Chains A and B, each alone.
Chain A
């Protein structure tokens, strides 16, 4: 009987300890640490290349100031980023300072009351930024500003391997027709012309956008997105989809275009096994960790000679910073945000290979390759933001992402692709 009682008591104690331990630990660690140290939790998707080194350098600089506020950084991979931040915001456990991708995400987050209104701050400081209208567009919801633009990224370039071009007697293409001819020559020589890994949908969407902006122009695309004056089933949209499918059917993309991911396509190009690689400006500062044994060349996306629009490009304010409404340390977060939006921080950010949105930072501090990309952006009439960020996610990340992959594999016609986007867009508005 005594043994039974003892066992029962020990069991009960163990059970209570097991149940209460996490709660006790949480009580003693989280709030005390956050408030006593004046810590600002910063979440970003800066996990590689110049973004990773840039944010690490910025945090190092800030923490070295010893002003009583320290930044703790949580880098989250792009694929999981949105799910993580949405869950944190909805669960009332957001970071103090948040980086995200603006546009539809601003509308979603601000619409649910999760972001702090920064209209006053923006009004007083917007003159420090380049392309302030574009920045405001990425951060606006119902007339108020909820974030601050941080990085611009452009998709209007193709990276190339000069050694492959030279070995095959090819000049750097200036027009799309020359680009096609170069691809044909390379294919005939047994070289993969273009490296593409479209498994996740967005790399093929960027190709589609490069055709779309030339076939339709930014204004028409926005008219279609806003369902006001244009439709995704219009001829220019179908033509852009046809351009993408034709390129795939001509055999110019790498054989794993549908099933490879971005990393595989990147590795294929950097290994010198493909001549061209189209992706965003982030790639220009992204190969330090695995440097190729050739000098990477960069050319503007070649223009179609029969396109309606010859001035617009693709690119957008891609990284913005915001303070969640439920931030535990909003005052300190505001201090950090102001510093991140300062000339000093902007120069550091640019020096690490990022297109800072602060006026003059790229010109003053960025590597030459970034300066060149930025010059192309500034010469353009207008830029088409990443289309998936302007469309409802069920449209952008299903009909456009999945659809462009289906165009590549030939399992969808350009007409059906365009119709599916339009139908989904209309359904989402109901």
Chain B
């Protein structure tokens, strides 16, 4: 003899068996309804992301000049072993780490500070929101071209400006100086990206109930104390998301480096994506270039996994 038990929802209320049956039957119908709308995006996702991704993974295990498909040769892990002997690969990896640290910290800190400042209902807040967002809507290629010209020691404006204000001793080769080129790129990347993250922070700040601020004020908390003890704890998940997005953006860095320095001078600004591009499309080593990209992909995945699992729903904790 069996006992029939009514299913229980998360809230603890019993769901009638008839309703549950209807719901389970209706799932495939909803799927069918959604499928035509999802299909175009799915096709694009598979064709333009999944297939190239799998192709890159496969090519990373081969040796191929890129001239003839018949010449593709399986070499196993040879390309990955070759990275160990490639000093430019390690140099590029270090530069990626530099980008990751420098650019992510700059973007996050500047965006958060400005978001907090603009949340104080200061005069012209809306104007400044627009102004700070502007760089983010300009193509990174255009940004690269403009800054390259500005920093040009021959025809640029930076050196003449420094000279004009009596700081001529600081005029330099800028992007031509191996020690300065990478920091300059990091700062430009941060300048380009912080506006968007500032908006994300502002959207989270707006969502914080005013009651909490009022309560903190009644309890005697000053401005800074309220930010530290009320606002910032509630911003954790957004900060985590911004750090994750900025980190992925930094790891993918290509266009700014390619346009401004092409990885030079002497590989001083080379990053994994530009080195992979050079290997694949200039040195005719498609397999090795793909292997470098696979390493970049793995690093990105690991980083994303750590961020997502560690910081998800941190506000509510």
Contact = CB atoms under 8 A, between A and B. Distances in A.
Nearest to B67: A112
A256 B153 contact: yes
A430 to B, nearest CB: 12
A11 B36 contact: yes
A87 B43 CA distance: 24
Contacts of B149: 264
A412 B178 CA distance: 12
A89 interface: yes
Contact of B67 (A108, A201, A260): A108
B154 A192 contact: yes
B161 to A, nearest CB: 15
Interface string B152-172: 111110010000000000000
B102 interface: no
Contacts of A87: 66
Interface size class of B (residues with CB under 8 A): 35 or more
Interface stretch (B10-18, B210-218, B242-250, B261-269): B261-269
Given A15-B39, A393-B282, A402-B264, A114 B68 contact: yes
Contact of A259 (B66, B176, B283): B176
A259 B175 contact: yes
B282 A397 contact: yes
Contacts, number: 140
B32 interface: yes
A401 B94 CA distance: 22
A380 interface: no
Interface string B175-186: 111100100000
Interface string B12-39: 0000000000000000010011001101
A214 to B, nearest CB: 25
A255 B176 CA distance: 9
B173 A114 contact: no
Nearest to B39: A15
B157 to A, nearest CB: 13
A406 interface: yes
Given A113-B68, A393-B283, A394-B285, A11 B264 contact: no
Contacts of B153: 254-256, 259-260
Contacts of B209: none
B146 to A, nearest CB: 13
A402 B266 contact: yes
Given A83-B281, A259-B176, A394-B285, A199 B264 contact: yes
B174 interface: yes
B266 A109 contact: no
Interface string B42-74: 010000000000000000000001111101000
Given A192-B154, A402-B264, A405-B265, A90 B36 contact: no
A216 to B, nearest CB: 24
A398 interface: yes
A409 B176 contact: yes
B33 A7 contact: yes
Given A15-B39, A109-B67, A398-B283, A256 B152 contact: yes
B83 to A, nearest CB: 15
A14 B36 CA distance: 8
B312 interface: no
Given A8-B33, A199-B262, A267-B155, A394 B284 contact: yes
A4 interface: yes
Contacts of A212: none
Contacts of A192: 154
Nearest to B275: A398
Given A11-B37, A393-B284, A254 B154 contact: yes
Nearest to B88: A398
Interface string A227-269: 0000000000000000000000000001111111100110110
B40 A258 contact: no
Contacts of A398: 278, 282-283
A45 to B, nearest CB: 15
B179 to A, nearest CB: 10
B151 interface: yes
A411 interface: yes
A19 interface: yes
Given A109-B67, A112-B67, A268 B266 contact: no
Nearest to B151: A259
A425 B196 CA distance: 47
Contacts of A90: 66-69
Contacts of B174: 259
B139 to A, nearest CB: 17
B67 A256 contact: no
B178 A411 contact: yes
Contacts of A256: 152-156, 173, 176
Nearest to B181: A259
Nearest to B268: A411
A361 B43 CA distance: 56
Contacts of A199: 261-262, 264
A264 B152 contact: yes
A86 interface: yes
Interface string A102-138: 0000001101111000000000000000000000000
A114 B67 contact: yes
A200 interface: yes
A12 B36 contact: yes
Given A393-B283, A402-B264, A409-B266, A259 B173 contact: yes
B61 to A, nearest CB: 19
Contact of A260 (B154, B284, B285): B154
A220 interface: no
B158 to A, nearest CB: 11
B283 A258 contact: no
Given A192-B154, A260-B153, 18 more contacts: A4-B33, A8-B36, A18-B40, A83-B281, A111-B67, A112-B67, A114-B67, A195-B154, A256-B173, A256-B176, A258-B173, A258-B265, A259-B148, A259-B152, A265-B154, A273-B154, A273-B155, A406-B266
Interface of B: 29, 32-33, 36-37, 39-40, 43, 65-69, 71, 148-149, 151-156, 159, 173-178, 181, 261-262, 264-268, 278-279, 281-285
Closest 4 CB pairs of A and B: A11-B36, A258-B176, A112-B67, A394-B283
